[in-house]
Amino acid sequence: MKTFTLTEAKKQLGAVLEKAKAGEAIEVTRYGKPMFQFQGGETVVVQRPVSSQRVRHTFGRLLVSMQRRKPKGGRSASAMLADARASRARSHGIG
């Protein structure tokens, strides 16, 4: 199996594609870890990098959806969190 770094694969894309088309097994790595493998005309995604910005965006959307949802008791997550914070402040003599 011929191994290319992601940078090498980008620079030599035509050659990499020709080798893959000819049936040669090829692996593309990023930071030393396999990302993709081309074998026998099939592409296998080994590792899919996720940006920290995407993680923050997805987590933010999840938090917003949780705050809007009301559990069986009828109170939103943000209301329960506010009560918990107020209770903690009272127990520590802050509020």
| 40 lies in the same domain as 64 | no
| 39 lies in the same domain as 9 | yes
Whether pTM > 0.85 for this model: the answer is no
| 40 lies in the same domain as 57 | no
| 66 lies in the same domain as 32 | no
Count of domains forming the chain: 2
Residue 18: phi and psi, rounded to 5, are: -65, -40
Return the pLDDT at 71. Answer: 62
| 61 lies in the same domain as 40 | no
Q: What is the pLDDT of residues 14-39, one digit of tens each?
A: 888 888 878 888 888 888 888 888 87
Domain span at 83: 52-91
| 36 lies in the same domain as 9 | yes
Return the pLDDT at 49. Answer: 63
* Three-state DSSP class for residue 38: strand
Q: What is the pLDDT of residues 26-77, one digit of tens each?
A: 888 888 888 888 876 666 777 666 667 767 777 777 777 666 666 666 777 7
CA 27 to chain centroid, in Å, comes to 21
Strand order across the 2-5 sheet: 2-5, 26-30, 33-39, 42-45
